[in-house]
Amino acid sequence: MNNTAKVLNNSYIMTGGKDPSKLVSCLNKAVDAGAFPGAVISIIKNDGQENEFNFTKASGNRLIEEDANTDSNSIVTQDTIYDLGELTLIFCTATLFMLYVKQEKCQVDDLVSRYLQGFSVNGKSLISIKNLLTSQSGLIASYPFYEEIARNSEGSRIGMLASRGAKEYVLNKIIRSNLKTTPNTKTYHSEVANLLLGFLIEVLSGNSLDKAFMREVANPLSLTNTGFIDLSLLRLKKLSPVVNMIAPTENCDWRGKILCGEVQNDNAWAIGGIAGNAGLFSNVNDVTTFGIEILRALRGESEIFDESVTKEFIGLETDHAPYLWERASKENLMLSCGFSSSAVGLNSFTGCSLWIDPEKDLVITLLSNKVHPSRSNKKIVPYRMKIFTEALRLAES
């Protein structure tokens, strides 16, 4: 095979003279098995020198079902935009805190009550930003804020949904909430804590979360296909997503349509699509660009991120867990794929993954919409492991 190859069949681009047939076959089998309607994968082996391997492959279609909220132009390409789901945590939320620590706007050991008046009630006085970042806040794991906001909007001409009032409602509920466990004693995922981190960013930045992300992360990295979709602008008809570029997510019974261009996460949707726990949309090129910059930061080569702060947040050369990132482990099946123990990343509920392996100089991105048309689809689990296993074999062959 030539050192450079390009096949215009669902965007197949590669440099490095390797045979990707096993990975391509694995990706196509996942599509055929219904793990997702389509997906796009990117592999970058970047050691900071001239020796670089670059592979991108898209497979399948954007959608299975159609309605008035989607577009029938369905072939997936490397330009297809996906709802990143929980990747928002590492792409936006953790990254902004990483920058604010560098800028000395806050420290991870600061108490949350320093920034949010009234937060210390009901035993929450000792919760720090670090507790939130390491999933040890003691706050409840989840709460259906969206159900209450939807009820409060019934019969109203404008309603509370996707409004400033909805955000204030959720924040006040969290401030007044009781703890599930004592802070810093148990580790478990808390969507409530992640929503709170988004509110804290707005306090620290003096701006909305989406504008803070654009100014501090997207613009410096020239990410032209990444951002939040403000649902308040959709409702006022001041914004119209280009649905033929976006992969739809679930056929939502209670929203009454196939979701396309609005966040799948219910609580993020209720407060307007801009939240610390979910809401970012992006394509494979932009997500990979972000991953490469994190890899460069770990080598001290980034002009945007500080090396020592990045290592602290990633959990590299430290004895604590990563901040919102996950280490490759047997539990998330990533260690079994062949990643080193220093690899970090995240797999989202919507079907998107980003994994960075500093030891192997690797960034692997897999974007899919496995929740289309149903959020109950779990077929991605074994196929994701197979896809990452073959991706690592290809990169290291």
Q: How confident is the model at residue 162 (pLDDT cuts 50, 70, 90)?
A: confident
Peptide bond into 373 cis (omega under 30): yes
Cα 45–Cα 333–Cα 54 angle in degrees, nearest 5: 15
Q: How confident is the model at residue 69 (pLDDT cuts 50, 70, 90)?
A: confident
The string of pLDDT tens digits covering residues 275-297 is 999 999 999 999 999 999 999 99
The string of pLDDT tens digits covering residues 327-374 is 999 999 999 999 999 999 999 999 999 999 999 999 999 999 999 999
Please report the pLDDT score of residue 152 as a whole number.
Answer: 85
Instruction: Yes or no: say if 269 and 85 are a contact pair by the CB < 8 Å rule.
Output: no
pLDDT at 5 over 60: no
Alpha-carbon separation of residue 268 from 100, 144, 149, 346, 381 (angstroms): 23, 11, 12, 19, 24
Q: How confident is the model at residue 14 (pLDDT cuts 50, 70, 90)?
A: low
The rounded distance, in Å, linking the Cα atoms of 51 and 9 is 26
The string of pLDDT tens digits covering residues 89-115 is 999 999 999 999 999 999 999 999 999
Please report the pLDDT score of residue 68 as a whole number.
Answer: 84
Least reliable range by pLDDT among 8-17, 66-75, 168-177, 386-395: 8-17
HEC profile of the chain: CCCEEEECCCCEEEECCCCCHHHHHHHHHHHHCCCCCEEEEEEEEECCCCCEEEEEEEEEECCCCCCCCCCCCCECCCCCEEECCCHHHHHHHHHHHHHHHHCCCCCCCCEHHHCCCCCCCCCCCCCEHHHHHCCCCCCCCCCCHHHHHHHHHCCCCCCCCCCHHHHHHHHHHHHHCCCCCCCCCCCCCCHHHHHHHHHHHHHHHCCCHHHHHHHHHHCCCCCCCCEECCHHHHHCCCCCCCHHHECCCCEECCCCEECCCCCCCHHHHHCCCCCCCCCEEECHHHHHHHHHHHHHHHCCCCCCCCHHHHHHHHCCCCCCCCCCCEECCCCCCCHHHCCCCCCEEEECCCCCEEEEECCCCEEEEEEECCCCCCCCCCCHHHHHHHHHHHHHHHHHC
pLDDT at 249 over 60: yes
pLDDT at 222 over 90: yes
Q: What are phi and psi of 57, to 5 degrees?
A: -145, 130
Cα 180–Cα 182–Cα 187 angle in degrees, nearest 5: 80
Which domains are assigned to the chain?
Answer: 4-82+282-396 (3.40.710), 88-270 (3.40.710.10)
Beta bridge partners of 56: 13, 42
Say what the pTM is: 0.94
Q: How confident is the model at residue 15 (pLDDT cuts 50, 70, 90)?
A: low
pLDDT at 13 over 70: no
Burial class (CB in 10 A: 0-12, 13-18, 19+), 267: buried
Instruction: Yes or no: say if 335 and 390 are a contact pair by the CB < 8 Å rule.
Output: no
Q: How confident is the model at residue 8 (pLDDT cuts 50, 70, 90)?
A: very low
The rounded distance, in Å, linking the Cα atoms of 349 and 120 is 32
The string of pLDDT tens digits covering residues 108-141 is 999 999 999 999 999 999 999 999 999 999 999 9
Instruction: Yes or no: say if 298 and 358 are a contact pair by the CB < 8 Å rule.
Output: yes
Instruction: Yes or no: say if 314 and 294 are a contact pair by the CB < 8 Å rule.
Output: yes
